[in-house]
Chains A and B, each alone.
Chain A
Amino acid sequence: MARYLAAKLAGASVSLVAVALTAFFLFRVLPGDPVRALTRGRPTSAAQLAQLRHQLGVDRPLAAQFADYLLRLTHGDLGTSYQYKTSVTGLIGEHLWATVYLVGTATLLSAVLGLRSGIRSAWRHGSVGDRVRTGVAVVLWSVPSFWLGLLLIVVLAVGVGPVPGLFPTGGASTPGTHGAVAVLTDRLTHLALPCLTLVAVIYAQYALTMRASLLDEMGSDYLTTARAKGLRDDQVRRRHAVPNALLPTVTLIFVNVGFVVSGSVLVETVFSWPGLGSLFYEALSVPDLPLLEGLFVVFSAAVILMNLLADLLYPVLDPRVRTA
């Protein structure tokens, strides 16, 4: 068990280091001079350009910049953003909650929805309900998320015909809202549409996986034994089949969280959600190298961390792994 843990932890650390190194070189090859992007259209003398170049540190040789980057990284410092002129760690910290809040809620809901729908489908596989549920899941899985978001804005935020526009079209809050209840309702109304878009796109995978693994489980001999013992179908399902079938789906949910974080770039852009995705979208056009590096590390770290968590959870959920 200890060896299992140590191996997983070591693997995650190696990946993290590899990602940190990739981040530096990946974005250095991006075209574009940040100094030009930041000053274009403003009266700027050649001396100011040189000064800005010096301030950003882009006038130094690549090797020196890399050494700098590594040194900073050991202190957990991701540098200073070119366009916001403030620390990248601070910037990411400011925007992290909005993303965690959106992705967290969406994951929670899609897990609940996906698991329920998958279990129901598997239990009555072949029924009309199963076909409808599976059909809906596969259809939603095929829809481009940004397109769905735009349609939701048109229908639910603006309103079409008799449907009133109940939700805000973008943002995470209305500035200047006061009072606990007002603030809470304000946050929830803003959350609803982006969250709905994310849920629609990601729950399908959970539903389909849950359905498939439960079907696998239901073919097992021990269920027949359980039924033979006189347990009713419903009890068999809940006490034996479901817990065992949960394993692959829960793993998937964990592994997926990391990807949903970086995938939320699109939804955040459509709904002007002030999270990491919007930050990335903005940084790409400058290019704001330190910010891009930082975000890349955070996005990848989210995947690595969630993978690690899934690995650690595995033995808890499935005793067979513990001995393996």
Chain B
Amino acid sequence: MSPDRSVNRRAAAGPRRWLALAAACAALAVPTVAATRPAPARAASRTLTIATNGSVDSLSPFLAQRALPTYIHRLVYDFLTNYDAHDFHPVPAMATAWSTSADKLVWTFTIRDGMTWSDGQPVTADDVAWTYRLMMTNRDAATANGNFVANFRSVTAPDPRTVVVTLNQPQATMLALDVPVVPRHVWESHVADIGTFNNDTRFPVVGDGPFILSGYAKNQYIELTANPTYWRGRPAFDRLVFKYYKDSDAAVEALRKGEVDFVDHLTPAQYDALRTARHTTLNRSPGKSFYALAVNPGATTTSGQAFGDGNPALHDQRVRQAIMHAIDTGALVRRTLGGYGEAGGGYLPPIFTANHWRPDASAAYAYDPDRANRLLDAAGYHRGADGRRTTPDGRPLTLRLLGQTQRPADAQNATYVAEWLKAVGIEVTTRIVDQGMLGDIETAGNYDLAFDSWITNPDPDYVLSIQTCGARPATAGATFPGDDFICDPDYDALYARQIAEYDPAARAAIVRQMQQRLYADAYIDVLYYPDILEAYRSDRIAGMDRQPQPRGMYSGQDGYWSWWSAKPGKRSASPTGPAVLAGGVAALVILGVGGGLVVARRRRAAADDRE
């Protein structure tokens, strides 16, 4: 162990030692090299790289529940129908035509002719029927999408081009079945382990979408390659890579450098800063989500048993409406969103024009503190000498406002809302907690006001269903499919009518009526709809299709339009050569600096010894 005895030998071996250090680093690098699966080689392939921070729970269409893998499935498996790029209406995909029986219970789909799986096998009606039936009969297979087939009585494939679905009850969402259809000949062998098979053991994965899933490294990247035989036409880019960035700032920096070609979910500051970036095109689209203030109506179970400690003052509609009049939603949009959003109105965001409902100017909750004061006075909550209101039995009117740390807007909005409500005499205590704790407090019904946000779909059924009586928990304090314990029989009656209404226009009319009810009840108050802010490298991507059009988004579409239609720009080949090499050299220099110092010192020391 004593280092001096070998000084001369080491000095002679100086450069070798330097190399040894580099080799040691390289040796450490080898396992990661081996751990990442090699992608199929294509020398000058055109790659479109997209930054993502989504996590992948599973790549199996039967298990995946997270946003990123379900989005990937839209790209690699075709669904029965797709959503139009212009206005989200259902358009043919696997199914080219459909019809319903007079009693609304039998749906017959005609399957596209000539489609093939990426292994050359034909796509048939049997694949569709088998996939759906598996989810109906196998509880593990129902993990992700079981809800879509819960109302199915039977699914059959009388011939290779026809699928017949028989329902228990009429279901208007039959053209919005977001269920990937898998190849039976591949998946049949996985039925036994369907609950644990993650579809990530053999690449490329057999599919029939515009892209083929060809590589995946957990928390690193997902790689797709163009499907040359896709029926709608081959995508122009050869490869699509979703690269994982945990930190959104790092993703933006990567865009500036050209490491990635597309970033989404930009903050207003990032978006504004990218205005001056070279070769960068910005895109601002209305979003699909709403951000709301949920008011506790008094938590109850499906059997009507009350629990939780929501403030009874909120059972008075005037109090709830006063709260909305006291909040300046326009200011929230300006302050929190930097102007990138729209102030709240109806429950469904304006991007879904067919279903969106807008309150009349007379009925809208405009920012009007005087009106809020009058409503509160009328409800019997009078102001004391200190300006604070008290309940009719003399206690101070204090509300708790709940937000979560993982949603950055909450802390900011909580500060604003607390100050506004204080101005009309309502004391507010804010609590911004971890999302897990927020969930616990909400399921226990122990809140007064809580921030709430949902991403909505082209078909409104799901977001409407979470506000029905049936979405409440069966037992007090259990996790439940709903949102805010709302139970309004009139709303539920409308809900039942819309699901049985097959005429889109008539159904939309009912859906608007439902939103009007929610708005007047003021239990779930939409504060704003945030815009989606995106940016891409214009030197890599010449153009893509938005959804909806003309103003719409590229990422997070209901469909594959953007990536499928993306045209390569002038510099679309993957970065190679000098830049990477220069970085490599610099890295070696940094890593070698320690070793280099040692060598230098050793040499000098050795020289001293020799004197």
Contacts and interface: CB of A to CB of B under 8 A. Distances in A.
Interface of A: 30-33, 35-49, 51-53, 55, 80, 83-86, 91, 94-95, 97-98, 100-101, 104-105, 108-109, 112-113, 116, 150, 153-154, 157-158, 165-176, 178, 182-189, 191-192, 195-196, 234-235, 238-239, 242-243, 268-272, 274, 278-279, 281-282, 285-287, 316-317
Nearest to A172: B32
A150 B583 CA distance: 18
Interface string B541-555: 000000000000000
Contacts of A97: 31-32, 35
Interface in B191-206: 195-196, 198
Contact of B39 (A47, A51, A109, A176): A176
A31 B223 contact: no
B583 A274 contact: no
Given A37-B439, A100-B31, A101-B32, 19 more contacts: A32-B440, A48-B142, A80-B196, A105-B591, A108-B24, A153-B250, A158-B256, A168-B259, A169-B250, A169-B257, A170-B250, A176-B215, A191-B591, A234-B605, A243-B3, A243-B4, A274-B218, A274-B219, A287-B436
A39 B253 contact: no
A182 B582 CA distance: 12
A243 B45 CA distance: 56
8 contacts: A36-B479, A45-B150, A83-B66, A166-B583, A167-B583, A169-B245, A173-B33, A243-B1
B272 interface: no
Given A85-B57, A157-B253, A243-B3, A285 B32 contact: no
Interface of B: 1-4, 7, 21, 24-26, 28-29, 31-33, 35-36, 38-39, 41, 45, 47, 55-58, 63, 65-67, 139-140, 142-144, 146-148, 150, 195-196, 198, 215, 217-221, 223, 239, 241, 243-247, 249-251, 253-254, 256-257, 259, 406, 433-437, 439-440, 443, 454-455, 462, 465, 474, 479-481, 574, 580-588, 590-591, 594-595, 597-598, 601, 605, 608-609
B276 to A, nearest CB: 14
A194 to B, nearest CB: 11
Given A158-B256, A188-B584, A238-B4, A32 B439 contact: yes
Contact of A44 (B2, B4, B147, B220): B147
B196 A104 contact: no
Contact of B436 (A32, A112, A235): A32
A51 B139 contact: yes
User: Which secondary structure dominates chain A's binding surface?
Assistant: helix
A33 B440 contact: yes
A296 B67 CA distance: 27
Contacts of A168: 254, 257, 259, 583
A270 B253 CA distance: 12
Nearest first, the 3 closest Cβ-Cβ pairs linking A and B are A32-B436, A185-B584, A31-B437
B435 A269 contact: no
B587 A185 contact: yes
A178 B2 CA distance: 43
A101 B28 contact: yes
B32 A187 contact: yes
Nearest to B588: A188
B580 A185 contact: yes
Given A178-B41, A188-B591, A272-B245, A45 B147 contact: yes
A242 B111 CA distance: 79
Nearest to B28: A101
A113 B65 contact: no
Given A55-B195, A83-B55, A187-B32, A33 B439 contact: yes
A204 B202 CA distance: 46
Nearest to B2: A243
B594 A238 contact: no
Contacts of A238: 3-4, 7, 605
A173 B36 contact: yes
A49 B7 CA distance: 68
B439 A271 contact: no
B24 to A, nearest CB: 7
Given A37-B435, A98-B32, A176-B223, A52 B250 contact: no
A196 to B, nearest CB: 6
A278 B57 CA distance: 15
Contact of A192 (B45, B198, B406, B586): B586
A52 B57 CA distance: 14
Nearest to A150: B249
Contacts of A101: 28-29, 31-32
Nearest to B471: A46
B481 to A, nearest CB: 5
A278 B606 CA distance: 45
Nearest to B474: A46
Contacts of B474: 46
B587 A189 contact: yes
A112 to B, nearest CB: 4
A271 B250 contact: yes
A171 B479 contact: no
A47 B151 CA distance: 13
